[in-house]
Structure 1
Amino acid sequence: MTHPLIDRLTSELGWPHLADAAALAEFTARAGVQVLFVPGDPRRNLESADVAVILPELRMAFQGRFDCAVVGDAVEAALREQTGVLKTPSLIFYRDGTLIGGIPKVRDWDDYMARIAQILAQPVAAE
């Protein structure tokens, strides 16, 4: 990570920084809803810093209904390919280890609120 607003998520808020595939798998397998923040390159994509500011606010607006982590560069490309959420910055949602949705690029507040509510309302797929 190379931007202070992204670094703040791990240093001040204590969110995990998922630097390898094992950490990514462990985090997404947890019970409940997990959100992965995929920042991309904040030097090339100025929206990454915007999402780094918006995501903690979204978590508060949804009363902590999901936990968050920041995806590291080493696993970002594989995760984007695996989930089909190719644009960055993005938010990728998992529930109990299962992908339930993604939101690419920065959005306005109302769009985030509607999309996240829709994602959180997804039924858990039967196995």
Structure 2
Amino acid sequence: MSVLELPLVQGLTTRHGMPVLHMLEQAQAGYVLLLLPSHARIHLETPDLAAILPDLLRLGATHLQGAQPLSGAVADAALEAELVRNESDLSLPALVLLENGQVKASISRMRDWETYVSRFEVLFAPSTAAGREPVA
């Protein structure tokens, strides 16, 4: 079974209309929260990340307050492999925040909700320029 066939991952594309990206240039303008589901080896945390991705998009949207669009997407195996090669300390599964097709930040593995809340407060703060430091 392919990781894209897992019901919760598949639901992101079928139920929530999130695209599967093959390259960063396909990302929509604004912010995109990209799921790297761990294509090489299905991971136990992948369904959990897929399940909360719609909620994380709502959380991010509250911080942005309509200032910029925020959407979700799923990386295909080739894009996932490219991002793992290029980003330091990225463990799968992961979420990668893109801003206009460029990697802004990443959060490896499943985290507790408060980690996402605090990280999003920094990433989407209007007056700060957040770095690309990954959250371990």
Give the structure-1-normalised TM-score: 0.82
Aligned residues of 1:40 and 1:88 also touching (Cα < 8 A): yes
Q: Deviations over 1:32-72 (max 9, x none)?
A: 11111101049631100000011111111233742110001
Distance in 2, matches of 1:104 and 1:83, equals: 11
| Superposed counterparts of 1:1-127, under 5 Å | 1-18=4-21, 20-21=22-23, 24-27=24-27, 30-41=28-39, 44-63=42-61, 65=64, 66-84=70-88, 86-121=90-125, 122-123=128-129
Provide the alpha-carbon RMSD of the alignment.
Answer: 2.2
Gaps of 5+ in 1: none
Aligned residues of 2:35 and 2:73 also touching (Cα < 8 A): yes
Aligned residues of 1:2 and 1:42 also touching (Cα < 8 A): no
Structure 1 residues 117 and 41: CA distance shift in structure 2, 3 A: same
Number of matched pairs: 120
Distance in 2, matches of 1:32 and 1:12, equals: 22
Specify the code of the residue in structure 1 equivalent to 2:6.
Answer: H
Aligned residues of 1:33 and 1:67 also touching (Cα < 8 A): yes
Which is worse superposed, 50-59 or 36-45? 36-45
Aligned residues of 1:31 and 1:96 also touching (Cα < 8 A): yes
Tell me the secondary structure at the aligned position of residue 114 of structure 2. Answer: helix
C-alpha deviation, 1:76, in angstroms: 1.1
Which is worse superposed, 1-10 or 64-73? 64-73
Gaps of 5+ in 2: 65-69, 132-136
